[in-house]
Structure 1
């Protein structure tokens, strides 16, 4: 079921996959879309209430919000949880969505019972990140001449198919459902400061899933557990940043075992 949640004037398109049991909110990454969680939602909803939404400036949600700060993204998570009366939810996020999930857990422990971060970590300041994102998006041959061309550009297979599914068809081809400038602005704060202080305040159980060839260095697991030794860290071999799309089974196994440890 689809519904709209409005947070401080920003319209968010929410997909409620239903299911009975403890609530789960799934958060996609930068330039992504809620559809990338369809497979995950399908197995999670057997024992959980599963909710996904296109984050601000993405997909079918508000395309050009004035505010794309970290606090604004977190505020949207809180708004969705409250609007759907989910209570304390498990937050699962990939990349920037995982970072948002972490900040929500730090800011609102009353609404977050557990946290799963996939290819996401607190991280130190990354000064070159906005430029890297700008260059990456500029490399897209927009408009794509066909969906098939987009699938090929994004690497084919499940990863390419999922990224291509986030595009919108227009008369002249296939276009991203976001403004590149707002994607760049969404990571500016990550370029300016560390978020380790927020990580240290997270009190709920946490699982971090990293890719062997992802965006984080080999010592990331040690850093993540340095201040929170109880955190579970799993590294999936032979995968890149989109580990949840490349090899969903190991990710599912890690989340399932984590949920078992929570008693859900």
Structure 2
């Protein structure tokens, strides 16, 4: 059974689920729109041999801190590692969390034994990366995210149509996520109780987190910054990298580019597996195996 722990950061606190265990420490980092509960099945498979903590990024889950710039969410990982007193952990990140663990190591803020990136890559040059971030910041994308995932929706009483009703409707929304698993492109195949746990943890009170503002702030990184979500970030990572590439994930069509990142330095490994983008929840056994077998430094 995990316990909730907190870390003080600029602007509030970060929440995390401490799963216990002993052995090599492993920090699990979710992607945009998810939270620490997404890792529950993976964590259960790791605790026999690892010390495992899963963190809520800023603006997500039970973390009270929100982002005011595009780098805080990945810089915070250094605060978590230091707060835990860990030396040379394995950092594992899914989706945006994959970039977060890469960036914090590339910046020299955490000395990691290795990183494991689960369908969370940056493959464009800086110009392409800046264009991709600009697309995220458009009103059209904000509308799509709100409709698809409910980011920022309020479920408290007195909000009218815009607020979607009261707390009872919030609970109904949670159960709708569970009931729709079979036809959900992201969650199809996931354990219903895992989807419920993640959906419940989305809320502080009546607000579905993250807010759209959180997503937009983290998409404002400057292409002139030393650490930027572009393919050159991997040149600044000297520890081993294990990349998990689902066959129907976001980066499967760019497998040749992923393979080039792996081939660019020793100690890098590419792990192919079935499934779509959300393999952390739909194929946790395979992700657990990939983490257990991740290439590590001494």
Q: Does 1:30 align with 2:65?
A: no
**Alignment partners' CA distance in 2, 1:210 and 1:130:** 26
8 A contact 1:4–1:14 mirrored in 2: yes
**Alignment partners' CA distance in 2, 1:164 and 1:115:** 28
Q: Does 1:147 align with 2:174?
A: yes
The alpha carbon displacement at 1:36 in A equals 0.6
Alignment of 1:137-176 (within 5 A): 137-140=145-148, 143=164, 145-153=172-180, 155=184, 157-158=189-190, 162-168=194-200, 176=208
Q: TM-score, normalised by structure 2?
A: 0.75
**Alignment partners' CA distance in 1, 2:234 and 2:69:** 21
Alignment of 1:41-190 (within 5 A): 41-62=43-64, 65-69=66-70, 71-108=71-108, 111-124=111-124, 125=129, 126=132, 127-131=134-138, 133-140=141-148, 143=164, 145-153=172-180, 155=184, 157-158=189-190, 162-168=194-200, 176-189=208-221
Paired residues in the alignment total 256
Q: Secondary structure at the residue paired with 2:210?
A: coil
**Alignment partners' CA distance in 2, 1:242 and 1:214:** 8
Provide structure 1 residue ranges, at least 5 long, that are not aligned to the other structure.
none
Partner of 2:276: 240
Q: TM-score, normalised by structure 1?
A: 0.84
The alpha carbon displacement at 1:161 in A equals 5.4
Partner of 2:157: none
8 A contact 2:67–2:218 mirrored in 1: no
The alpha carbon displacement at 1:110 in A equals 5.1
The alpha carbon displacement at 1:99 in A equals 0.4
Partner of 1:210: 245
**Alignment partners' CA distance in 2, 1:146 and 1:109:** 39
Q: Deviations over 1:191-247 (max 9, x none)?
A: 99652222111011110001112111233322322433541111213x211022222
**Alignment partners' CA distance in 1, 2:286 and 2:67:** 38
